[in-house]
Amino acid sequence: MSQTESHLRSAFDDAFRQMGGDRARIRRELGAIEVKFYPYAGLHHTIRVRAGRVFVRISDLFRAAPPEVTRALAFLLVARLLSRKPPRVYERLYRSYAFSPEVLRASDLARRERGRKVISTAVGRVYDLNRVFLRVNRRHFDGEIDKPILTWSQRKTRRILGHHDAAHDTITISKTLDSSDVPEWFVEYIMFHEMLHIKYPARIINGRRYYHTPAFRAEEKTYPRYEQAQEWLDRVIRTRRELRARAA
Ligand SMILES: [Zn+2]
């Protein structure tokens, strides 16, 4: 059991102790609580009791969550199991993390990718991500970034053009960009951004997780075509909006 999973288990012990109330019978029967991370499609957690044992599955998108957030989640799940109202403070803590932009992005992507094969291929129709990575690494990082797993996304996601998953050491690039309509330098820029996430791991400040730290942003702006890349980002996102308007 990882340190996180044993921390989680003690959080569940506490939650049952504090919220068990007249449901003491359940508490007594809790000889074993099994807590595991699970690669659900999207942000999803489950708790159930079978033969006196409690089985908890936590979305693996929460693997990197700060301890106070996983503790809050334990209280919310136990409250759900016991049909009790969870303390407000835990709801707030949970939401502030679960609805943070990076977790939302990751859960969007997981929803799209999972249930299928997560890793498809690095070699696209037009661009080979292995070559893109090598070029960007040589040009902007002195070749010092260790190569993660590289893959094109299964679907043409427009809102999420790239994603770095630290837990799985994977960079996923949206298949939308594997097109001769998209200039090579823009694919390189998206790769550059995701590689910066490897160079600048998320930092926790006052209990909040920051992915785009000031150092990250400062280096991102040194990209030679940074301004042009922002225009391209707008263009790709605008196209998505137009598509949606047409569908509506
Ligand atoms: Zn980012």
Q: What is the pLDDT of residues 101-118, one digit of tens each?
A: 888 888 877 776 665 545
Q: Please give the distance, rounded to the nearest whole angstrom, from the Cα atom of residue 9 to the centre of ligand 1.
A: 31
pLDDT score recorded for residue 16:
83
User: Buried b / exposed e across 102-125, counting CB within 10 Å, b at 16+?
Assistant: bbeebbbbbebbeeeebeeebebe
Least trusted range by pLDDT, from 27-31, 42-46, 154-158, 176-180: 27-31
Mean pLDDT, to the nearest integer, of 53-60? 86
Q: In what order do the strands lie in the sheet with 170-173?
A: 149-152, 170-173, 162-165
83 CA from centroid of ligand 1 (Å): 38
> Which tens digits make up the pLDDT trace of 11-23?
888 888 888 765 5
Q: Hey, what's the torsion of the CAs at 114, 118, 122, 127, to 10 degrees?
A: 0
Q: What is the pLDDT of residue 241?
A: 55
Q: Which residues pair with 183 in a beta bridge?
A: none
Task: Return the pLDDT at 38.
Answer: 81
Distances (CA, A) of 84 to 9, 22, 68, 72: 20, 11, 20, 14
pTM for the whole structure: 0.53
Distance 163 CA to ligand 1 centre (A): 7
Predicted local confidence at residue 102, as pLDDT: 82
Percent of the chain past pLDDT 70, that is, above it, reads 85
pLDDT for the residue numbered 186: 95
pLDDT band at 1 (very low <50, low <70, confident <90, very high): very low
Mean of pLDDT values over 93-103: 87
Q: How far is the CA of 211 from the centre of ligand 1 (A)?
A: 7
Q: 196 alpha carbon to ligand 1 midpoint, in Å?
A: 8
pLDDT score for 108: 75
Tell me what pLDDT residue 114 has.
64
The per-residue pLDDT for 188 is: 97
Q: What is the Å distance from ligand 1's center to 229 Cα?
A: 14
Q: How far is the CA of 104 from the centre of ligand 1 (A)?
A: 12
Compute the distance from residue 222 Cα to the ligand 1 centre, in Å: 15
pLDDT per residue as tens digits for the range 181-191: 999 999 999 99
Q: Which pLDDT band, with edges at 50, 70 and 90, does 246 fall under?
A: very low
- Going from the Cα of 190 to the center of ligand 1, the distance in angstroms, rounded, reads 9
pLDDT in tens, 118-138: 567 889 999 999 999 999 999
The CA 173 to ligand 1 mean position distance, Å, reads 12
Work out the number of other CB atoms within 10 angstroms of the CB of residue 101: 9
User: What average pLDDT score do residues 88-101 get?
Assistant: 89
